[in-house]
Amino acid sequence: MKILKFGGTSMGDANTWQRVLNIIDRYQAPFIVVSATARTTRELLSAANKAIESLSEAQTKAKSIQQRHQKIISKFTDDYPKKGDQCQNICGQWIDEQIRELKQALINIQEAKELTPKTKDAILSIGEQLSSYLFVQCGSLFGIPMQWVDAADIIRTDSDFGQANPDTDYLKQKAPELQELVHSNRIPVMGGFYGHDANNTTTTLGFEGSDYTASLIGATLNAEVIEIWTDVSGIYTCDPRVIDDAKPISHLSFQEATELAYFGAKVLHPSTTKPASQKQIPISVKNIFAPNEPGTCISHEIQETEGVKAMTFKKDCVVITVTSSNTVMGYEFLANVFDILRWHHLPVDAVTTTEASVSIAIENGNRIDDAIEQLQSYGSVELDSSQGIISLVGCATKKAQLLVNDILLYLKDTPVNMISFSQPKGNLNIVVPKEYVIPSIKEIHQQLF
């Protein structure tokens, strides 16, 4: 049994839906996980943020989401004149119902003049609720019997809205139910990204969380493979939208793929590999526009390289430097600093320390201001914004010194603010001003690949 996950670009319009259904038709009894249609999650977030100051503009955005999904269904059903009307009516009612919920949520935001994490999750989940249900109806029209599965019934999480943690024990309890679905005469289709907490409140697993959902389901069902279908033929040596001559990578280890995702690569959610690796289930990243190409296989196998496997980057980071105001033991000072970061769920990308000072590179986010306020109780705090991080993954550890020397040579005209190398992971991270990230990426990739 295989898990097939289709991302936002795969779910972008009626034409890609036809492609996806043709791919699914090749498989026997798969389990399908889908993302929201392309751009929908960001449009939902934009509407939610806009509702605080202008309800009318937020409602206009909601109307646009509604019309785009109506257009997808109308375009898809045009090819099925005999049965298309019934499908269009069913889909139209579902779209109207979800948009009514969205508009009411926007009204609540406007009245409260606040967008809470709880409300944000409820709104963002609408994208997957739309795409998964509508896709089931169109799939049945296409000739593939499908069964909609509400992720809220399967994915139980804690209440950490925006980045909820799944309850794997609850998933194990659901395993027989999922197995029964897989072996029925209908293909189960579930929206990724969202679930419910113990209070039946909607939560989300974080942006790109549908990959994570697919991995969780795959691990629960002991799948043969988890296939992540997107619009590129696997994972590349760097983002092909930035580097024209980026090359596809045939194989990565789970650790290498996780590091790439964590440090900015958009192909996978950073948590995707964990459930799969625990059950030793390979992950395959494939292209809906070139389904016969091999893509990238991710597994436990580690293939040594002479240089670097791949590179990625984050363009919106800050460097926080905390200098202790008291004479304390270094470990106590650092423990206090990292406790605050842990409390605010701020993962550290790169760090340099002395006994009384620490500099930390972190991706920019809403929680940084609150963290800085608390950090000031332990010393002076300097914030260096508009920074970026370049990460090289899968570095040959035996040649680490030569690699660092070469990188600094390539960046001789670039101000490097921090540099760190992890020998066990084979990762090299370089912090540079934001405006230097893309030119530096291009220079390094040209030299290394």
* For residue 359, pLDDT beyond 80: yes
Q: For the residues 189-193, what does the mean pLDDT come to? A: 97
Whether residue 72 is predicted with pLDDT greater than 60 in this model: the reply is: yes
Tokens of 132: 């998964």
Note the pLDDT of residue 325. 73
Whole-number Å distance between alpha carbons of 182 and 212: 19
Looking at every residue in the chain, the average pLDDT score rounds to: 92
CATH: 3.60.20.10, 3.40.50.720, 3.30.470.20, 3.30.2130.10. Which one for 310-448?
A: 3.30.2130.10
- Measured CA to CA, the distance from residue 52 to residue 58 in angstroms comes to 9
Q: How far apart are CA 342 and CA 190, in angstroms?
A: 32
What is the rounded CA–CA span in Å between residue 183 and residue 135?
Answer: 20
Going by their DSSP bridges, the two strands 296-299 and 202-204 should be labelled as unpaired
What ranges do the domains of the chain cover? 2-299, 310-448
Record the tokens describing residue 63, joined without a space: 């109307």
pLDDT at 207: 79
pLDDT digits (tens, 9 = 90+) for 312-351: 999 989 999 999 877 555 678 888 899 999 998 888 888 8
Beta-bridge partners for 34: 6, 191
Characterize 223-250 residue by residue with b for buried, 16 or more Cβ atoms within 10 angstroms of its Cβ, and e for exposed.
bebbbbbbebbbbbbbbeeebeebebbe
Domain 2-299 is found in CATH 3.40.1160.10:
yes
Whether pTM > 0.85 for this model: the answer is yes
Q: What is the mean pLDDT of residues 275-300?
A: 95
Crossing angle of the two packed helices 55-77 and 126-142, in degrees rounded to 10: 10
Q: Of 39-53, 111-125, 146-160, 350-364, which gets the smallest average pLDDT?
A: 350-364
- The residues pairing with 299 across neighbouring beta strands, listed in sequence order, are 253
Largest CA distance in the chain: 80
Q: Residue 106 above 60 pLDDT?
A: yes
Query: Checking DSSP bridges between strand 296-299 and strand 283-287, what pairing results, if any?
Result: antiparallel
pLDDT in tens, 374-417: 999 888 999 998 999 999 998 877 777 888 899 999 999 899 99
Backbone angles phi and psi of 393, in degrees to 5: -115, 145
Task: Identify the pLDDT of residue 329.
Answer: 59
- The answer to whether 30 touches 239, Cβ cutoff 8 Å, is no
- Alpha carbons 54 and 306: distance in angstroms, whole number: 56
Scored b (16 or more CB within 10 A) or e, 357-384 reads bbbbbbbeeeebeebbebbeebbebeeb
Rounded CA gap, 433 and 40, in Å?
31
